[in-house]
Amino acid sequence: MNFFEHQQRARRRSALLVLLFVLAVAAIVAATDLAVLAAFYLIDTVQLDGLIPFPVWLQQHPRLALWTGIITVTFIGSASLYRMVSLSRGGSAVAQMLGGARVDPDTRDPSRRQLHNVVEETAIAAAVPVPEVYVLEGESGINAFAAGFSPNDAVIAVTRGMLENLSRDELQGVIAHEFSHILHGDTRLNMRLIGASFGILAIALTGRMLLRAVAESRSSSHDGRAIMAGYAFGLLLMVIGYIGVLAARLIKAAVSRDRERLADASAVRFTRNTAGLAGALKKIAVSPLRAALVSAQGEEVSHMLIAEHAGLFTRLFASHPPLIERIRLLEPRFDPAELEKIKLEPMRQVAPGAAPEPTPVPELLGLAAHRVVALVGAPGQPSRPTAATLDQDIAPALKEAAHSPQDAVDLVLALLLGADPALRAVQMQRIAARRPMVALGHIENLAAQVQRLDTALRLPLLDMAFPALRQRPPLELRNLIGLVDDLTRVNGMTRIFDYALSRLLRQMLAETLAPSARPHARLKLNALHAEIQILFALLAQAGHAEPAEAQAAFAAGLRRLLPSLTLAYAPPQPWVEALDNALMQLDRLPPLVKQELIAALAETVLHDRRVMLAETELLRVICACLHCPLPSLQAAAA
């Protein structure tokens, strides 16, 4: 199953989630109605000292069931809405809800520095922004999860027990597993699942809180009847709520189980190291604490974890396949008796910033359109050495600025400054009007180092700086978006590199400021001929100096996508706003149609069998705007 098939399946799972949620609410409403009607019927019967036929009594209270149902639905809906609003900030809200502490990129702690390095390398290889990294300090079990509505607001969190017990290879396997969830959109579905399940679980949580409150007030209260009523009502809520607990677990099992197998397979394909992830799963299997979280919100996020705690109804209600089954899929000859030989020992300490030398697996990848499509959302081994060498290719001052919340904004502005002195002077005037004067010298110093940086490393440097940018206040980020647009249009003719950088940055920041905002209405390909013409014409122009060659590449791509349609090769001028509008509309295509679109775009890029940096940068940004992350084609071609 490739990226686009996974996306299509995720859409069907979203519809299944809605259906199961409605059925669960209906079951809870029915149980609540039954309990309330029974309670009031018994009270009336006792007070009247005689048995009233239930149908007769029900006719005397025709609206009791209706109002009970309305109140129950309102309560569940309000609880779900409350949880969804509380998570609207994205993945960081989930990590902080569980008590996670953000890992500073410049931390001196060896294990946390190693964790951040692994996450950063994996993100750059996958061509997505580096997620924020959290450690659940209060959790000694071995577990991890990824959360967020998109790669631009995603976070990866690991437990303290994972840091203490896994080797670097095992940690890398776990991180690759979590990146699979980010790349394939699983995290977005998981966020919705948290909101839905919280509403279903809310009745049981309320019953538990009521029983606890009654027990605490028992010693100070002399009203025995009130205490008994409180106990009875609390137990009633717990019994009804248990239906919600079972329903929530069934929903998680139906939505999540297959995705864990796919994430395991994607992690192995990404790292080319089966032993890493298999070793991590084995340690989880032998850990006394397994995957249990001590946090009170552990039940809400159980479907997001890399492994869940084995309970009474594991087979039926588990959101994950059994650990032994997952290990055997990775290592078919695995014998469960081997688990007895595994001992959990603290991870060997590493020097700050140290990382093992990459061990790439030789892989010949002939660049063809179907190969490019296969790379989307599934970067392979060729990308990893490229990511690992960034630490050597990027100047220390640039890396330090990329990791600093105070300097990341200056670094972004330095990346956008042009090489021409006259153009740069005008850009600096625009910056001076919006930024403090003390920042101008720092921006110019960073710009001098950026000029010596390989052009192909500018987008990876932006990915590296993104976690620091996310730490800035929302108002400052909105002002930065406006300033970036202003700088890229100073000379009236934006370069491809400038557009790629600014458009990617705007996409990242916009989804950070509004993580859950994404268009839901889908469009058909036949309604977007004008947008398709703009997209293919600009991509062909970016990779071919001669108009005749560009026109041939344009025609080749369109022939693959729409063989019966003839469109004129006419790159728009000005083109920036036209391309922005086209990408906004094309993002509303269904996943499998996006697959055909990207294959046709790759056909345009590869038409002359030469891959130019300008066209690959533009192709990467196009794919990012379509929410289909594409790794470096240069690394793949190598």
Tokens read off for 416: 């956008």
* 3 state DSSP class of 464: helix
Where does the pLDDT of residue 532 fall: very low under 50, low under 70, confident under 90, or very high at 90 and above? very high
CA nearest neighbour of 44 among 62, 26, 58: 58
Residue ranges per domain, the chain? 3-91+190-252, 92-185+268-341, 371-498, 525-637
Q: In the prediction, which pLDDT does 530 show?
A: 92
- Asked which of 35-49, 106-120, 462-476, 526-540 is least confident by mean pLDDT, the reply is 35-49
What is the CATH topology of the domain spanning 92-185+268-341?
Zincin-like (3.30.2010)
Share of the chain above pLDDT 70, in %: 83
- CB distance 459 to 504 below 8 Å: yes
| pLDDT the model gives residue 365 | 40
pLDDT digit string (tens) for 548-586? 999 999 999 999 999 888 889 999 888 888 999 999 999
Nearest 10 degrees: CA dihedral of 156, 160, 164, 165? -70
Amino acid at residue number 71: I
The stretches of 134-293 forming alpha helices (DSSP H) are: 160-165, 168-183, 186-217, 224-271, 274-286
pLDDT higher than threshold 70 for residue 274: yes
Other CB atoms within 10 Å distance of the CB of residue 188? 24
pLDDT digit string (tens) for 275-306? Answer: 999 999 998 888 755 556 766 666 778 778 88
| pLDDT-based confidence at residue 155 (cuts at 50, 70, 90) | very high
Coil, helix or strand at residue 132? strand
Alpha carbons 437 and 153: distance in angstroms, whole number: 31
Residue 467 has pLDDT above 80, yes or no: yes
Higher pLDDT, 523 or 495: 523
How high is the pLDDT of residue 585? 92
Task: Kindly list the strands in the beta sheet with 155-159, ordered across the sheet, starting from the edge strand earlier in the chain.
Answer: 100-102, 132-136, 155-159, 144-147
By C-alpha distance, which of 113, 471, 141 is closest to 286? 141
Tokens 């930024």 — which residue? 435
Q: Give dist(CA 143, CA 594) in Å, integer.
A: 34
Supply the Cα-derived Rg of the chain in whole angstroms: 28
Beta strands at 100-102 and 144-147: parallel, antiparallel or unpaired:
unpaired
Q: What is the pLDDT of residue 354?
A: 44
Q: How far apart are CA 192 and CA 195, in angstroms?
A: 5
The H-assigned helical ranges of 48-145 are 54-60, 64-86, 91-97, 110-126
* C-alpha to C-alpha distance for 28 and 238, rounded to whole angstroms: 12
Q: Determine the Cα angle at 333 with ends 330 and 335, to 5°.
A: 100
Pairing of strands 100-102, 132-136: antiparallel
Q: Is the pLDDT of residue 495 over 90?
A: no
Q: Is the pLDDT of residue 536 over 50?
A: yes
CB 32 within 8 A of CB 66: no
Residue 151 has pLDDT above 70, yes or no: yes
Q: Determine the residue type at 82.
A: Y
In tens, the pLDDT along 109-122 reads: 889 999 999 999 88
Residue in the structure block whose two tokens are 């469009």 = 523
Between CA 91 and CA 305 the distance in angstroms is: 13
> Per-residue pLDDT for 210 more than 80?
no
pLDDT of 313 strictly over 60: no
What pLDDT does 251 receive? 73
By the 8 A CB rule, do 184 and 3 touch? yes
* Structure-token pair, residue 73: 């639905």
- With a pLDDT cut of 90, the percent of the chain lying above it is 14
Average pLDDT over residues 11-37: 78
Q: In the 8-state DSSP scheme, what is residue 566?
A: -
Q: How many CA atoms lie within 13 A of 341 on its CB side?
A: 6
To the query of whether residue 178 is one of the catalytic residues in this protein, the response is yes
Return the higher-pLDDT residue of 146 and 608: 146
CA distances from 243 to 16, 24, 546, 549 (A): 19, 8, 68, 65
Contact yes or no for 620/583 (Cβ under 8 A) = no
Residue 385's nearest CA partner among 357, 354, 352 is: 357
136-145, 298-307, 432-441, 600-609: range with lowest mean pLDDT:
298-307
The pLDDT of residue 385 is 46
413 vs 38, which has greater pLDDT? Answer: 413
d(CA 372, CA 360): 20
pTM of the full predicted structure?
Answer: 0.77
**How does 418-449 read in b/e, with b if 16+ C-beta sit within 10 Å?**
beeeeeeeebbeebeeebeeebeebbbebbeb
Tell me which of 307-311, 439-443, 616-620 is least confident: 307-311
Q: Of the ranges 157-171, 315-329, 397-411, which one carries the lowest mean pLDDT score?
A: 315-329
Reported as type and span, the H/E element at residue 541 is helix 529-543
- Using 50, 70 and 90 to split pLDDT, how confident is the model at 50? low
Mean pLDDT of the region 434-439: 84
pLDDT band at 90 (very low <50, low <70, confident <90, very high): confident
Average pLDDT, the chain: 80
* pLDDT over 90 at 196, yes or no: no
Helix axes 168-183, 110-126, angle to 10 degrees: 40
- The angle that helices 474-488 and 421-432 make with each other, rounded to 10 degrees, is 150
| Predicted confidence (pLDDT) per residue in 591-625, tens digit | 889 999 999 999 998 887 777 778 888 888 898 88
pLDDT at 13: 67
Greater confidence (459 vs 12) lies with 459
Q: Which of 333, 336, 319 is nearest to 281 (CA)?
A: 336
Give the C-alpha separation, 365 to 384, whole Å: 15
Output helix, strand, coil percentages for the chain, rounded to the nearest 5: 65, 5, 30
- In the set 132, 139, 178, 615, the catalytic residue is 178
HEC readout, 330-383: HCCCCCHHHHHHCCCCCCCCCCCCCCCCCCCCCCCCCCCHHHHHHHCCCCCCCH
